[in-house]
Chain A
């Protein structure tokens, strides 16, 4: 609960305050957003499963973003940035899909 409230306030703050994103962080934004989406879907599913936990949600959210960005950074340094980005997107996409499927099963019983 507290995590959801914090997240909402954070989103509003991010939109209102418009902090500038440093240029060197720009390449990692897309992958960070996908990672955040994955965490959000995982959290939603946990809510429906009845095992949601603020701390796990927040930590997984943050670590998802950081690890995804780190992988892309590493890929950039090794010269395989786009390939690693694709890999990360594929894995996160599969996770998002299966989480979304179980959310769907919860909601529509189908």
Chain B
């Protein structure tokens, strides 16, 4: 543009007349420079100098040697450094890994200790009940311990194994469900597990555990990120729902109920892998004792013994073995209070049909 303006503004000068014709690729000198003259022009100059008979002096030779040494050392060092794995990131990573492992081991150890203590408590309770000689109370305590999921149980039952569809990509199999996003279609969702569990309760299951997590009246099956949580412990697929009860009756009633239909629809429409296997000997862990608190307004007209849940509570608590709550505005039941098993605990309602494509908690 500038050249055009220049040539039209004034008369043609001598400079313009002697100008060489522009090469066609004048605007790409940079590329030409790079492509056509990759060799340092200094080499040609030096060769010309040598041809004239000039030789470098002694000092120049020494300087060259020193510089060459330096260059070699730098390059070698740089390559060595680059070939080593990233030390810093690696260190942080391994430190975090070690931390996770340590904490997991801590949790495991504490869990083991907790189990031991629970077993001790159960043994002591059984002994004191045996000493007291009250057979009815002992059997009631045992029954309540079973239905409240406090104690581990064994017996025949059903095992329902669910897994993400094979088409759900890298999330299928036993990989970490939190590792990958995507592929929500064929995934097992918290709602699926909820419905299956509720179906099993409705079919007459006496005790249920999901991946070794015993369900109690207070258990929640939730979604967090990409993982299904039962009682705030993340599960890793496959999801195994173990239910204790009469295997054949349980299976028949489950299949006939809406949960069985739902599971079938999941299998047919979304490719979710599900298998129902009856087992003669299932072993479910205990969830341990937990306590619930009930607050209600003091009412002068109502008798203190007619507290809503008090009649069931407190069976395993030493303070009120008869199950009668203390009078007052605040009733604290222990272990088995509020448990209504083997009837299903109140959980989310079972929809009649239609598998869930997405869970409300994870809808994007």
Contacts and interface: CB of A to CB of B under 8 A. Distances in A.
Contacts of B39: 42, 45-46, 49, 99, 102
Contacts of B36: 98
A98 B82 CA distance: 26
B139 interface: no
Contacts of B60: 55
B68 interface: yes
A74 interface: no
Contact of A10 (B42, B43, B64, B70): B70
Q: How large is the interface on A (under 10, 10 to 19, 20 to 34, 35 or more residues)?
A: 35 or more
B50 interface: yes
Nearest to B86: A26
Which DSSP category, helix, strand, loop or mixed, fits chain B's interface?
A: helix
Nearest to A52: B43
A15 B80 contact: yes
Interface of B: 34-36, 38-40, 42-47, 50, 56, 60-61, 64-82
Interface of A: 2-15, 17-19, 21, 26, 29-30, 32-33, 36, 39, 42, 45-46, 49-62, 65, 91, 94-96, 98-99, 102
Given A29-B78, A60-B42, 6 more contacts: A13-B73, A30-B78, A42-B43, A46-B40, A50-B47, A62-B71
21 contacts: A3-B64, A6-B64, A6-B68, A7-B68, A8-B72, A9-B69, A10-B76, A12-B72, A13-B73, A14-B75, A15-B80, A33-B75, A36-B75, A53-B46, A53-B47, A54-B56, A55-B60, A56-B43, A58-B67, A61-B68, A62-B70
